[in-house]
Amino acid sequence: MARSTERSLRKPSGGRYHFSRGKRGYEVAGYAANTKLGDAKKVQVKRARGGETREVLLVVKQVNVADKKGKTTKMDILNVVENPANANLVRRNIITKGCVVETSLGRVRVTSRPGQEGMVNGVLI
């Protein structure tokens, strides 16, 4: 069964919604990129709606770090330290928006969405 972004089958009361049609192409959802910490950058190009292309970041080693003065430097990621969304992602070294990674400059909070934007940006904390 295809993943979908349409409404749930269940009402808040627990009853069922009955649909009068099947899934549409624009309702089909994609799978999570689960960007991992690794040695070489690995990018997958996906076709988006209207023939546009999107870069999905699968493996990454570096992060663009912005300090308080606005200066940006590219640093190597040493480790994934914490993730407020899910603690299991830390053990698997998966990088998502909001996770905290360790660099030689210090801890960096990721502000971009690696699975959607194809890059990892962050700010020092």
Neighbours of 30 (CB within 10 A): 13
pLDDT tens figures, 80-106 = 999 999 999 999 999 999 999 999 999
Domain locations along the chain: 25-124
> Could you give the percent of the chain with pLDDT greater than 90?
75
CA distances from 56 to 16, 22, 44, 60 (A): 35, 28, 5, 11
- The hierarchical CATH code for the domain 25-124 is 3.10.290.70
Question: Whole-structure pTM over 0.85, yes or no?
Answer: no
Side-chain-side CA neighbours of residue 104 (13 Å): 6
